[in-house]
Amino acid sequence: MLIPPGFLQRSLVLDQGTVAYVEADPDFWPGPPPNSVPLLFIHGFGGGSSSYEWSKVYPAFATEHPILAPDLIGWGYSDHPDRPCTTADYLALLSQLIDRLCPAPPVVIASSLSAAMVVRVAVDYPDRLRGLVLVAPAGLADFGQDPSGSVVNQIVKLPVVDQLLYRGAIATSEGIRLFLVQRQFADPSKIADEIVAAYLASAQQPNADVAALAFVRGDLSFDLAPYLSRLTTPTALIWGEMAQLTPVETGRRLAALNPAAIRRFEVLPGVGLTPQLEQPGVTIGLIQQYLSDLTA
């Protein structure tokens, strides 16, 4: 794992397996102020996803907040079971991570499908969260959308073919770069070799194909709309204008469901699905603004 200077990788045994997570090195950073709000950074799903996704952002907050950035089960350097986790498994995992890692109700900063799952946790356990900052949250079956209709989705449902596709076209340097160009970045010049290397290292972990293929098949997808309308936790949304998997029009529809909870909705022009990697400085500035609002 590529970890920024001043941070350590640790591990935690949970019901679903051992989770690797990143936290600030106490020998490097001064301790955050007493009673400061923990920040829990949750990566999205996709070939090679991991907590690296937030590594350009969370160092900016280490002097003021406890920082925690886990790899979810099946991703990064956490355990990779030989059976796919279900949505219910990930909801339970997120709940346990909040309970075990956060000394006080955190602000959760999450991306994409994981962000949509965090909304469901917040609906079920509103007292355990201080606020949410969500980047393009979507269940990928929102407003009746069918996630199983694409050609790639149909191909990965074929036994053996799915394995060949993953190993030959996804878990390679060329496959990772193509995925980032087509799905995550609006500006390909922002895709540094380090980003490709971090995604590739995660994608090539033993059994990494299990979680990735479950995601691509749509096994984890759900309609976020009914849950978002029940959300009470103060929330800010960040949406890349050029996001492919989750178009900004979907974001506007979702935000309109609950203006009481969704305090801010920010569209970033010329940015794709992961502004935390494509425009980390802008993302940091927005999170700083939102933290001031959400914790006031």
- The 3-state DSSP class for residue 216 equals helix
Residue 268 makes CB contacts below 8 A (sequence gap 6+) with 238, 239, 240, 241, 275, 279, 282
pLDDT in tens, 213-226: 899 888 999 999 99
- Residue 42 is inside which H or E element, if any? strand 39-42
Q: Answer whether 137's CB lies under 8 Å from 110's CB.
A: yes
- The dihedral through the CA atoms of 275, 169, 193, 187 has a sign that is negative
Q: 263: buried, middle or exposed (CB in 10 Å: 19+, 13-18, 0-12)?
A: middle
pLDDT at 247: 93
Query: What is the C-alpha separation between 236 and 291, in angstroms, rounded?
Result: 9
pLDDT at 153: 56
- The 3-state DSSP class for residue 156 equals coil
Greatest pairwise CA separation for the chain in angstroms? 54
> Where do the DSSP E strands lie in 112-177?
131-135
Query: What is the C-alpha separation between 37 and 29, in angstroms, rounded?
Result: 16
Low-confidence stretches of the chain (pLDDT < 50) are 151, 158, 160
C-beta neighbour count of 55 within 10 angstroms:
24
DSSP state of 191: -
The fold of the 7-294 domain, in CATH, is Rossmann fold (3.40.50)
pLDDT at 160: 45
pLDDT at 47: 84
**Cα–Cα distances in Å, from 276 out to 111, 177, 187?**
9, 17, 13
DSSP state of 236: E
pLDDT at 46: 87
